[in-house]
């Protein structure tokens, strides 16, 4: 068992210490030259599988791979999987916490892969061509510390709130939106007719910007759920101008201040209170959807969030029949953890206060103002829970799945295992 990574070796490779290459905050797959040649399919599938589960905390470490052709191949696999590639000259020493506890010395754990007899993947079945002698399939069991959540790293927004789209950004977005622009523009035209203030000083620009907001409120590859997933996983956006026009469109909508609500799924073993330390300042990698007091909820989601909003934008003017009012915070909005209520008879509730873009998070201590806001949120949540709200539709609920300000990451004491069979 390896604490935060594994080594894939092949026949003829030997391990010698190079000083601990594994890190506590991310999962490392170290591969030697023979394994890079013999087990390419297993490596590709394993990295892809890990990348989906560790939210940017996976790394490929090429050890002793001198041949440039092999290095190029590993670079390609790393790019495909969205993981970082490191190249080192020697072989790998892995510190085993169990052994160190027993002897006080470092020890090395190396997991060899089997000699190649057929392509090996994480889900491969029996060989298509039977053989009387076949090597055992490679098995990798990982004591991996990334099956929980961690605070998202702080970073500036890709597009600042209040951004005004340029003519070039609108043209690029129009080309990318294609037919979906025409599907959404009818809703936008109706909103512009009913609310002339949305037009601003350039109705044509406003129309394009608001179509971007309408697409965010929809489904599919151009919807908000897909955009937020890409932002949270730090993937390259298929159309950066979509985010530019969306942000420009949101600035045209009225602001909702005061208590707003959302929910999130919670499939991790971590306690909610541990994931949200009091006073912590969170940076949400994507945009964030919420609803006003008394509005619908998403079904079967485990955690409530009460947020004291300063800048959430009301998108009700662009709603279609059957949709409830949705409030949208711009990308990289920041929130301070004011309280976590987790009594046994109700769902856990995380209470957050939105910070202004130029506001410092403070020292992590809660001020009297923070405590007063938390109490207002607690009361608003109590009133909300006292009535039986209707359940929002599946498309809207897809934007209410992720916990605010957290991403998948390394957590000590949790394990997964992967077997190629």
DSSP class of residue 141?
A: E
Kindly report, residue by residue over 117-143, the tens digit of the pLDDT. 333 333 333 333 333 344 444 433 333
Retrieve residue 154's tokens.
């702080």
The DSSP H or E segment spanning 112 is strand 111-112
Beta bridge partners of 262: 305
Beta bridge partners of 6: 29
Kindly report, residue by residue over 94-118, the tens digit of the pLDDT. 333 333 333 333 333 343 434 333 3
Retrieve residue 142's tokens.
């990982």
Q: Is 310 exposed, middle or buried (0-12, 13-18, 19+ CB in 10 A)?
A: middle
What is the distance of C-alpha 16 from the center of its chain?
Answer: 36
- The size of the chain, in residues, is 421
Question: pLDDT band for position 154 (50/70/90)?
Answer: very high
Retrieve residue 298's tokens.
């998403």
Q: What is the pLDDT of residue 23?
A: 55
Q: What is the pLDDT of residue 267?
A: 81
Residues 6+ apart with CB under 8 A from 57: 25, 26, 27, 146, 408, 409, 410
Q: Which candidate, 34, 99, 87, places its Cα nearest to that of 59?
A: 87
Handedness of CA 262, 259, 223, 241 (dihedral sign): negative
Global pTM value: 0.66
Residues 6+ apart with CB under 8 A from 79: none
Task: Count CA atoms within 13 Å of residue 70 on its CB side.
Answer: 18
CB distance 45 to 122 below 8 Å: yes
Higher pLDDT, 292 or 43: 292
Kindly report, residue by residue over 387-417, the tens digit of the pLDDT. 877 888 999 999 998 999 999 865 444 433 3
Retrieve residue 297's tokens.
């909820």
């Amino acid at each position: 068992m390896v604490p935060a990574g594994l080594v894939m070796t092949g026949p003829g490779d030997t391990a010698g210490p190079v000083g601990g290459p594994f890190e506590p905050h991310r999962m490392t797959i170290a591969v030697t030259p023979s394994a890079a040649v013999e087990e390419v399919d297993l490596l590709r599938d394993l990295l892809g599988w890990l990348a989906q589960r560790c939210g940017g905390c996976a790394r490929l470490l090429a050890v002793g791979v001198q041949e440039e052709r092999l290095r190029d191949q590993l670079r390609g696999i790393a790019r495909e999987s969205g993981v970082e590639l490191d190249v080192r000259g020697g072989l790998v020493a892995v510190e085993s916490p169990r052994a160190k506890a027993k002897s006080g010395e470092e020890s090395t754990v190396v997991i060899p892969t089997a000699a190649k007899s057929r392509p090996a993947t994480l889900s491969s079945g029996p060989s298509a061509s039977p053989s009387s002698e076949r090597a055992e399939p490679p098995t990798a069991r990982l004591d991996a510390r990334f099956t929980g959540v961690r605070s998202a790293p702080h970073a500036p927004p890709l597009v600042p709130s209040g951004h005004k789209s340029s003519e070039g950004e609108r043209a690029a977005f129009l080309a990318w939106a294609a037919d979906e622009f025409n599907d959404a523009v009818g809703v936008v035209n109706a909103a512009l007719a009913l609310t002339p203030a949305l037009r601003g000083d350039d109705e044509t620009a406003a129309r394009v910007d608001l179509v971007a907001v309408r697409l965010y409120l929809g489904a599919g590859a151009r919807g908000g759920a897909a955009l937020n997933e890409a932002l949270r996983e730090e993937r390259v956006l298929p159309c950066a101008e979509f985010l530019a026009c969306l942000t420009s469109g949101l600035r045209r909508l009225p602001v909702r201040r005061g208590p707003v609500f959302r929910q999130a799924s919670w499939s991790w073993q971590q306690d909610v209170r541990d994931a949200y330390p009091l006073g912590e300042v969170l940076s949400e990698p994507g945009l964030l959807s919420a609803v006003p007091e008394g509005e619908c909820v998403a079904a079967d989601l485990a955690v409530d969030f009460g947020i004291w909003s300063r800048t959430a934008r009301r998108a009700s003017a662009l709603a279609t029949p059957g949709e409830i009012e949705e409030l949208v915070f711009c990308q990289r909005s920041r929130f301070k953890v004011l309280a976590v209520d987790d009594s046994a008879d109700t769902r856990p509730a995380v209470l957050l206060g939105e910070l202004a873009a130029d506001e410092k998070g403070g020292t992590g201590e809660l001020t009297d103002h923070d405590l007063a806001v938390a109490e207002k949120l607690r009361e608003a949540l109590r009133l909300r829970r006292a009535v039986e709200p209707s359940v929002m539709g599946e498309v809207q609920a897809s934007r209410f799945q992720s916990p605010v300000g957290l991403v998948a990451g390394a957590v000590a004491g949790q394990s997964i295992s992967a077997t190629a069979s």
